[in-house]
Amino acid sequence: MNNYKANPEDTIKEMLEEIGEENFDSLYSMINKDIRITSFNLPDALSEMQVQKTIKSAANENKINYSYFIGAGAYKRFIPAAISQISSRFEFNTAYTPYQPEISQGTLQVIYEFQSMICDLTGMDVCNASVYDAGNACAEAMLMAARISGKEKILVSDCINPQYYEVINTYAKAGNITIEKIPEKEYKTDFSDAEEKIKSGEYAGVIIQNPNFYGTIEDIDAIKSLEKSPKTMLIVCEDMISSIVLKRPKEYNADIVVGDVQPFGNPISFGGPYAGFIATLDKYKRQLPGRIVGRTKDAEGNQAFTLTLQAREQHIRREKATSNICSNQGLVILNALIYLSLLGANGLRQAAFLSASNAKNLTEGLKQKGYNILNKNFFNEFVLQVDNADEFLNRMKKENILAGFKLSINKILVCTTEINTKEEIEKYINLS
């Protein structure tokens, strides 16, 4: 094959002449030659068969047979084979953007059913079609609270995922919002000093994560007993699997619930894919960012789906838009919807109980070996104290165990899910 060029030589020559340049060198003459790429150092061209062999050979260098005990916001859970078979069908892959409802009813119904299921899980009234990830959802929820309350200060738990906090902080700077942290005590949010602030009415909202970044289940009774100002909103970043066995945020007076659906049928694949969601009370629905799909009836009385409450900058004047989020994670939430449909309430409950049970068995075994577990009342993640985190993690990795996420020089965050077998847990304990 000849090398592909976007334009033939005659066209290139005509274009250069039109702008008054003799050749490409003169076009790029303002760029220092020392920093210009002269060669890509690419290998000779290969046939398709040779390319396949080369890529397979490179792929075989990857080690994929690890026992996985890392969480910290990215969770490896069981993914039924049916999910990829359904979500990869061309009807879904080619109908990603539902701008024309009359020809996108399938995609719109998927989004609507996703919204409905998230409302069931959180106990909230309405949900959007998704945002980019949980960190983005936290930040957008903060902006929602600021718009609703008219306040420019926000309280954020120090036990929130550090990556989520960085996104919140970036949004806050651009939105002239002041962040104040609620301190952590024994790997749990310490509300004692924040109670008066929450009552004062000076803050747009309070952002907590439950279970928090360290896996600790926050003190729900303490949160519920807080006498909030009517305009101080409670924003909860929730682990969706835990919502099956713990109290739903609606039950402890949450105003906005956010989270990530990555654990619902989506793999950990080089840092993604993720999809955040925002669910809220009915009275705040017009402040939701991103897409929202509604169900209605057409002229003949048949069920129909369409985009509704379109407060995106694509639909209204930018200064009136709730957000500049213009899309949604369509295929990611499709995987989540299929996952939730396949497992149902009983399957989700089983996954949650297995995750918690595995964490209990692992911690009990580690305690018997003399290790300290630094947090209490956790769901499926816990903080393990070790002599040297790097040495511990490297030693376990040599035994094909990804043993946790490093928090500090002598602390690691360990996670279990339903995929961790009894044999893997025993091996972890024996080799630790």
Q: How many residues does the chain have?
A: 432
**What pLDDT, in 10s, does the model give residues 318-346?**
666 677 676 678 889 999 999 999 999 99
Q: What distances in angstroms separate CA 53 from CA 42, 47, 61, 217, 369, one per listed residue?
A: 17, 10, 13, 49, 47
Alpha-carbon span 50 to 179, nearest angstrom: 55
Q: What is the pLDDT of residue 338?
A: 96
**Mean pLDDT for the stretch of residues 251-279:** 91
**What pLDDT, in 10s, does the model give residues 178-219?**
999 999 999 999 998 888 888 888 999 999 999 999 999 998
Q: Report which of residues 27 and 361 the model is more confident about.
A: 361
**Mean pLDDT for the stretch of residues 146-169:** 96
Q: What is the pLDDT of residue 39?
A: 81
Domains defined for the chain, CATH in brackets:
67-77+345-431 (3.90.1150.10), 81-339 (3.40.640.10)
Q: Which two tokens stand for residue 92?
A: 């879904």
Query: What is the radius of gyration, based on Cα positions, of the chain?
Result: 26
Q: What is the pLDDT of residue 63?
A: 83
| Angle, helices 162-174/134-149, rounded to nearest 10 degrees | 40
φ and ψ of 295, to 5 deg: -110, 135
Q: What is the pTM of this model?
A: 0.85
- Which residues, 6 or more positions from 118, have their beta carbon under 8 angstroms from its beta carbon? 124, 127, 261, 277, 279
For 81-87, which contacts have Cβ atoms below 8 Å and span 24 or more sequence positions? 82/338, 82/342, 83/265, 83/335, 83/338, 83/339, 83/342, 84/335, 86/338, 87/331, 87/334, 87/335, 87/338
Residue 3 has pLDDT above 60, yes or no: no
**What pLDDT, in 10s, does the model give residues 406-431?**
999 999 999 999 999 999 999 999 99
**What pLDDT, in 10s, does the model give residues 17-37?**
999 998 888 888 888 888 888
- Which residues, 6 or more positions from 42, have their beta carbon under 8 angstroms from its beta carbon? none
Within 10 Å of residue 38's Cβ, how many Cβ atoms?
Answer: 6
